[in-house]
Every structure is written in C-alpha cells, then in structure tokens.
Amino acid sequence: KIETLEAKVSSNKEIHFNDSQKVKELKEELKLLKEDRDLSKRQIESMKYFASLKIKSYPLRELLELDESAQLKDEQIYNAIKYTIFFNGKYIVPPNDLYHVPLMGVIPNRVVTTLPSLHLQVKEGLNEEGNTFAMKALWWVEQFFKKSSFSINDGVLIDPMGLRGPQEKERFILSVKALKLRRQEVENLVNKISTKLSNLDDEISADTKYIQELNSIIHQVKESEAFMTNEHVRIARKKKLEEELRLKSLSEEAIENLKQVQTDLMRLQLQNANTREVLEEEEKVYEELGKMKAKYEERNHLQFQCNQEMEYLKNQKIKLEQLNGDFDELDERINKLEREIRNIDYVLEDAGRKIGIIEKQRTNNREDKETNQINLINIIKELSDLQKLVPTIYSEAANKCKEEPIPSLLLLKNNRENGKVMFDNARREPDIDPAAQDNYNTVKQEYERFDNEYKRLKILLDQILREQKH
C-alpha cells in the first residue's frame, strides 16, 4: 500500500511540474496580451532572434488590423500569412519556417493605408516609423490578392512551386475583439490550471502525511512486539494488532474510494468547465458568424447534457461527504486502538520493573537464608554442647523460654553473646564464689531466655522459608 501511495505522489509531482510549466507559458502569453500583443511560440522565437541581432522586427498583427466593418470570418483569408514577421533589413537566415519579410526590399508603387475590399487597414496608434512599415506591409499583403504568379484563395497561398495552408493553429488575432476573447480564454486556463495545481498540492501533502503515519504505525508495532514478555500478553497484543490492521485496511479501502470519487468529481468539473467554455465560445463565434438555427439547437442539447452532468456532480459530492464521515469514524477507532496499545506497553514496562525488583529481593533473601542457615548450625552446635555440659540448667531454661515473647534478632544475638561470656567466666573461676548461687541464677535466666529466643527465631525462619517457596 505504501509503495502505491509513493508512486501516486511521484506521479502527481510530475503532473504538478508539467502543469506549472503550462501556467508559466500561459502567464507569459497573458502578459503579452495585456500589452496588446498576441504572438505564437515561433513568432516569439523570431522576435528574440531579431532582438539578439539588434534588428527591429514586427509581427503582421502589430502593423495591420481588420477594419470596423469586418467580421471574424474575414480574418480566415489571411491564415497563410497572418503570422508573418517583418524586419527592417535586407537579408537574414530565418530561425524557423514562418514568413520573414525584409522591409527594405518592399517598395510600394503607391501609398496605401486601407484595403476596404479586404477589410484590412494600417493599425491605429503607430508612430511615424511604425506607420511607414505598416503601409509597406499592407501593400505587400495586397499583392497576394491580385492576379499574378502567386495569390491567396480561400486562405490557401498558391505559387508556382505549390500550395501553403495556415501557418499556425487557427486562431483569430487581427482584431481587438479576437484579442479580448483570447485574453479571456488564457485567463480562464490560468485559473483552471492554478486550481488544479492547488488541489494537487493538497493531495500530495495529504498522501505524504498518510505515508508518514503508516510508517509510524509500523514502527510502533515493531517496538511493541519487542516488549512482549509472556505468551498470554503476546496473544492479546497480536489480536489487537490484527484488529488494527483490519481497520487500517478498511480505512485504506475507504480512502481509495474517496480518492476515486474525488478524481471522478475533478474530471466532471473539468469536463463541465470545458463544456461550458466550448459552449460560450461557440455561442460567441456562432453569433459573430451568423450560424443557423441547427447550431443553437446543438448548443441547447449540450447545455442539457451539461445540466445532467451538474446533477450527477451534485450527487457525487453528497456521496463524498458520506464517505468522509465514514473515514472520520474509522480514523477515530484507529486512534482509540493506538491509545490502548500504548497503555498495554506502559503496563508491560511497569510489570517488567516489578519483576526485576522481586527477582532482586529473591536473590537477597536467598543469600540471607544461606547466612542464617550457617548461623543456625553454629547455634545448634553450641546449644548441644551446653546441653551435654549442664543438662539441668538447659532443661529449666528451655521450659522458661516458651512463656516469653520473641525479641528482635539483634537483641537475641546480643543476649546469646552475653550469656556465653558469663557462663564461660563462671566455669573458669578457681574458687567457689559466695555469690555463686546468684551468678548461677543469672546465668540460668540468661540461658533460658536465649534458648527461648533461639527456638522462636527458628520458627520465624521456617515461616520465611515457606513463604519464599510459595
């Protein structure tokens, strides 16, 4: 899916580039039209060529024009020569196959400023030099309509070497009315293509953003899989991922449907606009040329078709709005699933930290257990030796310790050491001490307390060990 979107973005960028070039060319033409200049590409090429040679040059339409009584159809007889370039010189190598006429070689046999029968005249508003060149150009055009070895008949130039048709694609350029029509046409084209470019920009941005979102989701899924710690969580996560991918697939299908509808709408809009422009243009041309009723009936039929297309376009827009609503709902569900996935990740990370702490505590408890077992063995040995040495005292102390509460482990160890020291000192005395009975009672009490504490400690250790096993 990502590869398809990337290919689509690349294609749209290429279309965007080509349309941008078209708009640039149209804007250049519009600039010339606003300056009352309507030139073809080959005329522009020739004009630049003469400018580089510093030779003055003029397109025929900048020297001559149709008179006020002319109709648009009267221009058609000049199709073979109306893109001619006149230059103030004798000879050059032409840059293309348009007519290039050296004005120094044109020598009129009379002054002529208008040709009423041909509805052609010198263009108004020229300066003195331009007016001189225009009269030469008008006389030059007149020669094609006299009986000679070369002539123009029905817009076709006839000479001894052959026939020549229109120099460029048929277009009206020799009247103010034609210039206005062309200017309006170019402005409409610029606006239409600019709108298309804007839509392409939006589409490219949306597709690029969606590709980034898909890549981000794939990255998040891969990261999520790395945190799976047990089979149960992995299965649950897998189900969540499958549901998300299913919804993504539905979303992608919805998006494709939306894109298709959008493409159809754009196509219909372009067709509609083109149809309307064609109808308007034909209406003006037909009015100018006085076409018959059949043409108007055809226009009405086309208008009816246009209305049907507009109704279809309206229905498609309603469907597009419904699909947009479905897409928003799917997008909201996907966002919800993504939030749930992030919550699962947080829970897994927290569980991992807790497991680490528990493992560390188990390790510490295991080490403490081993140390306590060693100490317990030593204490048991000491008590066994004490039982053999003074069995009576050992029995009394053991019975008495059962009734006392369990002290802390530190106090138990201190009492054990103190009792042991006192007992060892009493054994090493050389003579009988008058206070021997008191010392004996004291030692006996300490021993009994120590023995009781030892037993209670052993019970406590056993409980701790059982809890760790569970």
The pLDDT value given to residue 136: 95
Amino acid at 216: S
Bridge partners of 158? 151, 163
Compute the chain's Rg from CA coordinates.
Answer: 53
Q: Which residues pair with 162 in a beta bridge?
A: 159
> What is the phi/psi pair of residue 432, to 5°?
-75, 125
pLDDT for the residue 128: 92
Centre a 10 Å sphere on the Cβ of residue 81 and count the other Cβ atoms it contains: 20
Overall pTM > 0.85: no
Phi, psi of 162 (to 5 degrees): 155, -160
- 110 is written with which tokens? 């009379």
Per-residue pLDDT, 381: 72
Q: How many Å apart are CA 102 and CA 66, to the nearest integer?
A: 23
How far CA 423 is from CA of 32, 242, 386, 440, 451, in Å, comes to 124, 76, 10, 8, 14
Tracing tokens 């196509």 back to the chain, one arrives at: 267
Ranges of H-type helices in 144-230:
176-226
Note down pLDDT in tens along the chain; length 470 residues. Answer: 667 777 877 887 888 788 887 777 777 766 766 665 667 788 889 999 999 999 999 999 889 999 888 888 888 889 889 899 999 999 999 999 899 999 999 999 999 999 999 999 999 889 999 999 999 999 999 999 987 888 888 778 888 878 888 777 766 667 667 667 777 877 888 888 888 878 888 888 887 887 777 778 777 776 666 655 555 666 767 777 777 787 877 777 777 777 777 777 777 777 777 777 767 776 776 666 665 666 667 777 877 887 888 888 888 888 878 877 777 777 777 777 777 777 766 766 776 787 777 778 777 767 777 776 777 677 777 767 766 666 666 676 666 665 555 556 566 667 667 777 776 766 666 655 556 566 667 767 777 777 777 777 778 777 777 776 66
The answer to whether 276 and 370 are in contact (CB under 8 A) is no
What lies within 8 Å, CB to CB, of 155 at 6+ separation is: 76, 77, 78, 79, 80, 165, 166
Q: 430-449: string of b/e by CB count within 10 Å (b at 16+)?
A: eeeeeeeeeeeeebbebbbb
Task: Give CA–CA dist 58/36, Å, rounded.
Answer: 13
Q: How are beta strands 64-66 and 100-102 bridged, if at all? A: unpaired
Strand, helix or coil at 234? helix
**How far is Cα 302 from Cα 278, in angstroms, rounded to an integer?**
10
Determine the pLDDT at residue 288.
67
Residue of 386, 397, 399 lying closest to 426 (CA atoms): 386
Strand 100-102 with 114-115, pairing? unpaired
CA atoms of 360 and 354, how far apart (whole Å):
10
Residue 415 and residue 449 in contact, taking contact as beta carbons nearer than 8 Å: yes
DSSP conformation class of 53: T
Q: In what order do the strands lie in the sheet with 151-153?
A: 151-153, 156-159, 162-164
Contact (CB, 8 A) for 452 and 411:
no
Token pair in block for residue 40: 């073809």
pLDDT at 457: 76
Alpha carbon separation from 217 to 2, 212, 220, 323, 347 (Å, rounded): 12, 9, 5, 23, 19
What distance in Å separates the CA atoms of residue 201 and residue 262, rounded to the nearest whole number?
14
